[in-house]
Amino acid sequence: MSGQTSSEYKYIGTRSIRPDGADKVTGRANYGADFFLPGMVHGKILRSPLAHAKILSIDVSAALAMPGVLSIATSEDLPDMNAGTESAGEGEVDFYDFSCNVLAREKVLYHGQAVAAVAATSEAIARSALDKIVVDYEELTPVLDLLGAQKSDSPLLHKNQTTEGPKGKGKTPSNIAKQMMLARGNVDEGFSEADVVVEKTFISPIVHQGYIEPHACVVRTNESNQIDVWCSSQGHFMVRSFMARLLAMDVSNIKVTPLEIGGGFGGKTVIYLEPVAAILSRKAGRPVKMVMDREEVFRATGPGSSSIVKVKVGAKSDGRIVAMEADITLNAGAFKGSPMMPSMMCVFTPYTCPNMKVTGKDVVTNTPKVAAYRAPGAPQSHLAAECVVNEIAKRLNIDPIDLRLLNAVDEGSPTIYGPKFKAIGLKAALTEARSHPHYASALSDNQGRGVACGFWFNVGLQSSATINITESGKAVVITGNPDIGGSRASMALMAAESLGIPLDQIKPIIGDTESVGYNDVTGGSRTTFASGGAVIKAAENLIQDLKRRAAKLMDIDVELVQWIDGQAVAPADLDKKPLSLARLARKAGATGGPLTATATQTARGAGPSFAVNIIDVEVDKETGSVDVKRVTVLQDAGKAIHPSYVEGQMQGGAVQGIGWALNEEFVYNEKGVMENPGFLDYRIPLASDLPMIDTVIIEVPNPGHPYGVRGVGEAPICPPMAAVTSAVNDAIGCGADFQLTELPLSPVKVLDAAEKLMG
């Protein structure tokens, strides 16, 4: 926890107090559900009681007639939409599907899908009005099993969906939406050279991002077709563009003001309520507030894909990996679009192995449409790949970290998806892990240790920033990405460093969609990298302007002015007093008007991040329950702008991965109804489940960023599932043949496996 200030920098790398801190520890900060408008009414959603059915008719007349009911929305209120994917923000979107997910058309495809909505003067009236809406369904057989869904005799979710493959579209309708392949070298030759080959299939369930704040918004429409939105999201510009598209409006008619966000992890990179609230508000002539309850969050938002991943790895007896093959099936939920591609691209990326083949399938089932979840798709495929690599290490009797070091990618290594790596920190992280005291510590009876590494690309995308200098010479730094985990603090640090002024002279704020240029979502671990990059550019632009003005005041050539420690400085021999930012601000009227600077960028050169975990567990052989004893997480952050928040990402990601490995799972009955839609039965890790999470930040600067920043938010969730699974297999004495291959590693499964091993 000691402050690690790099001598190069004055502010970057310090552990400053976050600017929004006081408001967040006192309850003053406004989150999604904390916003109120005069005259506001309450919207509630009617959700499908069936997992798969045709909608024959919807009769809202009785509900509409109830006193206090002001408006009702169904999919008829949404404009027609053409099917077909378009690129949007981080990925691809099919707006027809999106629209159906907001309010169902023709069919319901999962239990809990939104079918209609009511706005009423109180939440209680809105709820009772939902009961008065009569929907006539023709029930169909739900498709719940990821394997069964692929069979040719399976019921179909979408009659027009055929499989999109590398060679175009298939002919017959299918629940397999997409099928892809990536390859390099020749795996068959690779396997024929191998001295040892391990092949194993790993399964993971549907899980939820589990943010503590349910989705919420307030939407107000007016008579000249303007819409105002206040909501929490991972990107208010994303909310604006999705709303515009779904409501067939121009983005300029919609203004979105971001409220504080209570967690997202990818789950708030899409919208559910806002377009519905807009329809309800337009029809009612009143602002409409909509807040989901926890059960709705579980039944109809997120989740992350369930997966079946088969991995086969071949190695020489000296540990060199010569062939790697993976077959990845991910559940998309009710509409196509699982993170199959990133899952395929990440699975073997830590390894140099020349022969690789990765196939992937995107399969629809009657479960909620998946949303991004922290390094989407990567934890599922890393689970299988890293466990199999650990088995190889055991078979060859080579230390699993040594085996990885022997095969790890480094600067110049090619990736399966194309580009070669620039400077990366995988070997550095592995080397640190190898010499970490944790790794040398002894294990007791019934304990096991697992190691794993993980990879995430990180993205750049579009960012804008504006810096306004107040008359008193303070810098108001406006960016457009919601602060989900301390980004105001990192923006302030980068601005202070660039402008050379103390942190308390900087006020970082998050502008609404009309007060700062466009910004892509807070996702892909891009904010500190890309929006931070825009702040640095804006600061550079501002400094250019400040130098010009100083030159004017000093009556010297602008080339002679330098910007040092927050002041304009002339060469010593000219005998001019330096001009501070405060002074230049006071003189701004005389030198050309107020001081302000803007910069925008489509950020390139996002540095990928690698993480390594060492995790120890203890298995209770009586009950099968698993206790996590010690966790060490190492990650390349490039340059940690605010080390505490980098550690926080590493710790939080590790713990989400531990929950995914041990407890978390959507449990469905045969009708497709989730049976555990609450935090009591969908058990995310508690404080009492965990030890401290030790962190080691590795800093291999990203050459694509002025301060060397890499995104850090996603890589931390990539290794823990494999590390925990390997540790539990180790603890029950599986040796080189892992018996536990299906998550979550619940006590029943662990006990079963342990008993089988004991014979």
Partner 1 sequence: MATHVKTTINNEAVEFLCEPHESLSSVLRERLHLTGTKEGCTTGDCGACSVMLDDRLVCSCLVLGVETEGMSIDTVEGVAKADKLHPIQEKLLEHAALQCGICTPGIVVSAKALLEKKADPTEEEVRFWLAGNLCRCTGYDKIIRAVLDAASVLREEA
Name the residue nearer to ligand FES (CB basis): 440 or 692.
692
Residues 6+ apart with CB under 8 A from 142: 50, 51, 52, 155, 366, 671, 672
Q: Which residues contact 721 (CB under 8 A, 6 or more apart)?
A: 204, 379, 380, 382, 383, 452, 657, 660, 661, 743
Nearer Cβ to partner 1, position 161 or 490? 490
- Measured CA to CA in angstroms, residue 695 lies from 433, 646, 724 at distances of 11, 9, 17
Angle, to 10 degrees, between the axis of helix 720-731 and the axis of helix 378-396? 40
Q: Tally the residues of the chain.
A: 759
User: Three-class SS of residue 326?
Assistant: strand
Burial of 160 (0-12, 13-18, 19+ CB in 10 A): exposed
Whether a cis peptide bond, with omega within 30° of 0, leads into 744 is yes
In the complex, least distance from residue 648 CB atom to ligand FES, rounded to whole angstroms: 8
To which residue do tokens 């999106």 refer?
A: 98
Question: Which partner in partner 1, ligand FES, none is near 29 (CB below 5 to 8 A by kind)?
Answer: partner 1
Q: Which is nearer to partner 1, 125 or 279 (CB)?
A: 125
Tell me if 656 contacts partner 1 by CB under 8 A: yes
Which of 430, 415, 420, 423 is closest to 354 using CA atoms?
A: 415
**Please, which residue, 291 or 494, has the CB nearer to ligand FES?**
291
Stretch that binds partner 1, among 14-22, 194-202, 539-547, 725-733 (CB under 8 A): 14-22
Which two three-digit tokens encode residue 699? 């800093």
State the binding partner of 1 from ligand FES, partner 1, none, CB within 5 to 8 A by kind: partner 1
User: Would you count residue 442 as binding partner 1 (CB under 8 A)?
Assistant: no
Residue 486 binds which of partner 1, ligand FES, none (CB < 5-8 A, kind-dependent): partner 1
Exposed e or buried b per residue across 676-704, where buried means at least 16 C-beta atoms within 10 angstroms of its C-beta: ebeeeebbbbeeebbeebbbbbbbbbbeb
Question: Is 688 one of the binding residues for partner 1 (CB under 8 A)?
Answer: yes
List strands edge to edge, sheet with 693-698: 447-456, 609-619, 626-636, 693-698
User: Shortest distance, CB of residue 299 to partner 1, whole angstroms?
Assistant: 14
In the list 4, 6, 8, 28, the residue contacting partner 1 (rule: CB under 8 A) is: 28
Using the rule CB under 6 A, is 686 a contact of ligand FES? no
Of 218 and 297, which CB lies nearer to ligand FES in the complex structure?
297
Q: Which stretch binds partner 1 (CB under 8 A): 65-73, 205-213, 349-357, 740-748?
A: 205-213
Q: CA 146 to CA 140: how far, in whole Å? A: 17
Distance in Å, CB of 639 to partner 1, minimum: 17
C-alpha to C-alpha distance for 264 and 481, rounded to whole angstroms: 13
Nearer to partner 1 among residue 377 and residue 482 (C-beta): 482
Going residue by residue from 212 to 251, which x/- string records binding to ligand FES, judged by CB under 6 A?
A: x---------------------------------------
Q: Which of 397, 692, 758, 759 binds partner 1 (CB under 8 A)?
A: 692
Q: Is 172 left (phi over 0), alpha (psi -120 to 50) or beta?
A: beta
Nearer to ligand FES, 212 or 686 (CB): 212
Q: Which of 150, 562, 679, 749 binds partner 1 (CB under 8 A)?
A: 679
**Closest separation in Å from C-beta 294 to ligand FES:** 8
The least distance separating partner 1 from the CB of residue 484, rounded to whole angstroms, comes to 6
Angle at 439 between CA 433 and CA 441, to 5 degrees: 155
Give the one residue of 26, 57, 82, 444 binding partner 1; rule: CB under 8 A.
26
Which of partner 1, ligand FES, none has residue 185 at its interface (CB below 5 to 8 Å by kind)? none
Count Cα atoms within 13 angstroms, Cβ side, for 346.
32
Member of 49, 263, 354, 578 binding ligand FES (CB under 6 A): 263
The CA-CA-CA angle for residues 55, 208, 142, to 5°, reads: 30
Query: Alpha helix locations (H) across 205-288?
Result: 236-247, 274-284
Pick 484 or 615: Cβ nearer ligand FES:
484
| C-alpha atoms less than 13 angstroms from C-alpha of 426 in its C-beta half-sphere | 30
**In the complex with ligand FES, which residue's Cβ is closer, 14 or 209?**
209
Instruction: Map residues 461-500 to x or -, x wherever contact with partner 1 holds by CB under 8 A.
Output: -----------------------xxx--------------
- 25 near ligand FES (CB under 6 A): no
Interface with partner 1 in residues 96-125 (CB under 8 A): 124
Angstrom distance (rounded) from CA 588 to CA 597: 13
* Segment near partner 1 (CB under 8 A); pick from 193-201, 393-401, 609-617, 648-656: 648-656
Q: Indicate which of ligand FES, partner 1, none lies near residue 655 (CB less than 5 to 8 Å, by partner kind).
A: partner 1
Question: In sequence order, which ranges of 408-531 are alpha helices (DSSP H)?
Answer: 426-435, 437-440, 487-499
Residue appearing with tokens 């480094």 = 410
- One of 685, 704, 708, 711 touching partner 1 (CB under 8 A): 685
Which CB sits closer to ligand FES, 101 or 481?
481
DSSP string, 68-126: TEEEEEEGGGSPP---SEEEETTEEEEHHHHHHHHS--SEE-STT-EEEEEEESSHHHH
Q: How far is the C-alpha of 603 from the C-alpha of 503, rounded, in Å? A: 25
By CB under 6 A, the residues from 183 to 212 that bind ligand FES are 212
From the list ligand FES, partner 1, none, which binds 261 (C-beta under 5 to 8 Å, kind-based)? partner 1
Q: Scan residues 592-621 and list those touching partner 1 (CB under 8 A).
A: none
One residue of 4, 6, 25, 151 binding partner 1 per CB under 8 A: 25
- The residue of the chain with the least Cβ separation from ligand FES equals 212
- Interacting positions 273-312 with partner 1 (CB under 8 A): 293-294
- Which residue in the set 5, 10, 29, 676 belongs to the binding site for partner 1 (CB under 8 A)? 29
CB of 27 to partner 1, least distance (A): 2
Q: Which is nearer to ligand FES, 170 or 263 (CB)?
A: 263
Which segments of 189-253 are extended strands (E)? 196-204, 216-221, 227-231
Q: What is the side-by-side order of every strand in the sheet holding 461-469?
A: 506-510, 475-479, 461-469, 596-603
Classify residue 441 by its DSSP letter: S
Nearer to partner 1, 273 or 754 (CB): 273
Applying CB under 8 A, which of residues 11, 202, 237, 265 lies at the interface with partner 1? 265
Number of Cβ within a 10 Å radius of residue 389: 29
Q: Helix and strand tally (H, E) in the chain?
A: 20, 32
Closest CA to 417 of 659, 156, 608: 608
* Smallest distance, ligand FES to C-beta of residue 29, A: 12
* Residue 718 identity: C
Tokens of 550: 């100083």
Q: Which of 664, 657, 679 is nearest to 724 (CA)?
A: 657
Residue 142 contact, options ligand FES, partner 1, none, Cβ 5-8 Å cut-off depending on partner type? none
Q: Is 748 in the site for ligand FES (CB under 6 A)?
A: no
484 binds, among partner 1, ligand FES, none (CB under 5 to 8 A by kind): partner 1
Considering the rule CB under 8 A, would residue 655 count as an interface residue with partner 1? yes
Decide if 219 contacts 208 (C-beta within 8 A).
Answer: no
How far, in Å, CA of 238 to CA of 322, rounded?
43
- Judged by beta carbon distances under 5 to 8 A according to partner kind, the member of ligand FES, partner 1, none in contact with residue 678 is partner 1
- Which residue number, 446 or 644, has a Cβ lying nearer to partner 1? 644
Binding stretches for partner 1 (CB under 8 A):
1, 15, 17-18, 20-22, 24-31, 33-34, 36, 124, 209-214, 260-265, 293-294, 484-486, 642, 644-645, 647-649, 651-656, 678-680, 684-688, 690, 692-693
Binding stretches for ligand FES (CB under 6 A):
212, 263
